[in-house]
């Protein structure tokens, strides 16, 4: 199956210009293809929140020669678990030797910075391959997976050799390849908000908010804590955008939220929507930061069961369209980046899949679905117990091997993975059939 002589340049339509879609555009552009990105709206409504990019995501940004410094990252050095009420440190996972061990740092990005950096990498005249083109205000209405056509609500159509659905948890592309999601509202909801560094300094707020760390409060089940507070109360705080922004994810039981509507954009909520229920007993330093926040936006969460397939004909899905997950493993962006990387490798000149799209996409599903689904399921377990979060799994089990044997997701499993080798092994198996 290995080949560097029968390569065929593909016309690729990427439906959805979020982090996953842009990553796919970069990977496939660099593999020699002509990529068009279709986005349902303008990019000026990107949500302003922190995005984790651990070593398993950062390695692809480096391989794709993305200008990481322009995305103003904060390089993480530790994960810190606090007592909800006192702020006392309960547990800490040290990342001081992270780069030495895994070959890449753990980056925290502001979503808008990361999106802008990926967009530049996808469309800039610099770099390998033909720059991708972007078409905005195009809402996908239907897809023909056999003919490779996409029809938009404005009446326009496009034809492609390969169609990638990166159109999120309400994916139209997913529906068009015959997937009916088994989904229910999660028992936990979230509000995202930010605090400006200037306000932290001006108001004399807690300075550890500007440390290179992710800080956690709550999230433990009642049988592992001394309170009756639900494990669905949890706060995640981290700096991003070169420390100019402190980003918060504020979780609570779904019944506590005022947010019930669906949509792609929302009006900023008052801080009182967040500081209710058990938040009145939250660590004073953390609560003071939240009370001085901006950009307060609701984020409704859902539990999706794994999908039966990720591809059909000339079409595949990736990112949230393929494996929407709860956010508690901080792997959503990394898994979308890995999806994109797999497509870039499979449809490169190293192999002959550009002449057999369906076979290439079947390989993509075989490579990516087990790993993506495993992270998806582990993210649900971390919803119920913060000790299931990557990093804390090693601390609580006291041994990484023991953690892996008990089914927990570990840093080793995430960062020791070698996708190039995995794909080569699977292609070698195909050649032996």
pLDDT tens track for 201-228: 999 999 999 999 999 999 988 766 667 8
| DSSP three-state, residue 89 | strand
pLDDT computed for residue 203 by the predictor:
96
Q: Is 112 helix (H, G, I), strand (E, B) or coil?
A: helix
Of 397, 391, 169, which is closest to residue 299 (Cα–Cα)? 169
Crossing angle for the helix pair 419-432 and 332-346, to the nearest 10 degrees:
40
Q: Which two tokens stand for residue 331?
A: 């792997």
Q: What is the pLDDT of residue 46?
A: 55
**Edge-to-edge strands, sheet with 107-110:** 50-53, 107-110, 74-75
H or E element at residue 358: helix 357-384
Distance in angstroms (rounded) separating the CA atoms of residues 178 and 174: 7
d(CA 383, CA 304) in angstroms, rounded, equals: 13
| pLDDT tens per residue across all 433 residues of the chain | 555 569 999 999 999 999 999 999 999 999 999 999 999 987 765 567 899 999 999 999 999 999 999 999 999 999 999 999 999 999 999 999 999 999 999 999 999 999 999 999 999 999 999 999 999 999 999 999 999 999 999 999 999 999 999 999 999 999 999 999 999 999 999 999 999 999 999 999 999 999 999 999 999 887 666 678 999 999 999 999 999 999 999 999 999 987 765 544 567 899 999 999 999 999 999 999 999 999 999 999 999 999 999 999 999 999 999 999 999 999 999 999 999 999 999 999 999 999 999 999 999 999 999 999 999 999 999 999 988 999 887 655 444 554 555 678 999 999 999 999 999 999 999 887 6
Measure the CA–CA gap between 176 and 104, rounded to whole angstroms: 38
Tell me the average pLDDT of the chain.
Answer: 92
Distance CA 239, CA 76 (A): 9
CATH numeric code, 11-75+104-183+304-384+417-432: 3.50.50.60
Q: Please report, for residues 30, 39, 294, 367, 416, the alpha-carbon distance to residue 410 in angstroms, rounded to integers and kept in the order given.
A: 31, 35, 34, 19, 10
pLDDT of residue 341: 98
Asked if 254 and 185 count as a contact pair (C-beta separation under 8 A), the reply is yes
C-alpha span between 361 and 355 (Å, rounded): 12
How far apart are the C-alpha atoms of 406 and 363, rounded to whole Å?
Answer: 29
Q: Which pair of structure tokens corresponds to residue 344?
A: 């870039």
- For the entire predicted model, the pTM comes to 0.94
What are the boundaries of each domain within the chain? Answer: 11-75+104-183+304-384+417-432, 184-301
45 vs 54: CA distance, rounded Å: 25
> What's the pLDDT score for residue 286?
97
Query: How many Cα atoms within 13 Å fall on the side-chain side of residue 66?
Result: 32
The 8-class DSSP code of residue 351 comes to B
């Amino acid at each position: 199956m290995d080949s560097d002589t029968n390569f065929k340049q593909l016309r690729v339509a990427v439906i959805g210009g979020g982090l996953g879609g842009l990553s796919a555009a970069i990977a496939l552009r660099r593999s020699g293809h002509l990529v068009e990105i279709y986005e349902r709206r303008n990019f000026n409504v990107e949500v302003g929140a922190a995005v984790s990019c651990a070593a398993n995501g950062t390695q692809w940004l480096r391989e794709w020669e993305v200008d990481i410094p322009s995305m103003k990252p904060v390089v993480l050095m530790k994960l810190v678990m606090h007592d909800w009420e006192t702020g006392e440190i309960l547990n800490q996972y040290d990342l001081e030797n992270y780069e030495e061990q895994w070959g890449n740092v753990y980056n925290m990005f502001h979503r808008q910075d990361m999106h802008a950096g990926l967009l530049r990498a996808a469309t800039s005249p610099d770099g390998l391959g033909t720059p991708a083109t972007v078409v905005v205000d195009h809402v996908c209405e239907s897809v023909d997976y056999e003919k490779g056509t996409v029809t938009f609500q404005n009446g326009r159509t496009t034809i492609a050799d390969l169609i990638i659905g990166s159109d999120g948890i309400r994916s139209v592309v997913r529906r068009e390849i015959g997937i009916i999601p088994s989904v229910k509202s999660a028992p936990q909801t979230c509000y995202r908000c930010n605090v400006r560094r200037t306000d932290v300094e001006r108001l004399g707020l807690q300075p550890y908010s500007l440390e290179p760390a992710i800080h956690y409060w709550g999230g433990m089940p009642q049988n592992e804590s001394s309170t009756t507070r639900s494990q669905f109360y949890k706060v995640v705080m981290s700096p991003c955008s070169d420390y100019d922004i402190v980003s918060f994810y504020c979780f609570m039981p779904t019944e506590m939220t005022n947010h019930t509507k669906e949509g792609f954009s929302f009006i900023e909520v008052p801080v009182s929507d967040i500081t209710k229920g058990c938040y009145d007993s939250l660590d004073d330093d953390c609560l003071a930061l939240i009370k001085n926040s901006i950009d307060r936006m609701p984020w409704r969460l859902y539990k999706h069961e794994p999908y039966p397939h990720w591809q059909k004909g000339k079409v595949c899905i990736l990112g949230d369209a393929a494996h929407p997950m709860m956010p508690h493993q901080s792997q959503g962006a990394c898994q979308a980046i890995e999806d994109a990387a797999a497509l870039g490798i499979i449809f490169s000149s190293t192999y002959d899949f550009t002449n057999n799209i369906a076979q290439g996409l079947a390989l993509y599903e075989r490579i990516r679905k087990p790993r993506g689904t495993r992270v998806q399921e582990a993210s649900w377990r971390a919803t119920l117990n913060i000790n299931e979060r990557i990093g804390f799994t090693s601390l609580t089990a006291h041994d990484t091997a023991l953690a892996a044997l008990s089914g927990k997701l570990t840093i080793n499993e995430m960062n020791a993975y070698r996708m190039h080798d995995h794909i080569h092994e699977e292609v070698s198996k195909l050649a032996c059939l």
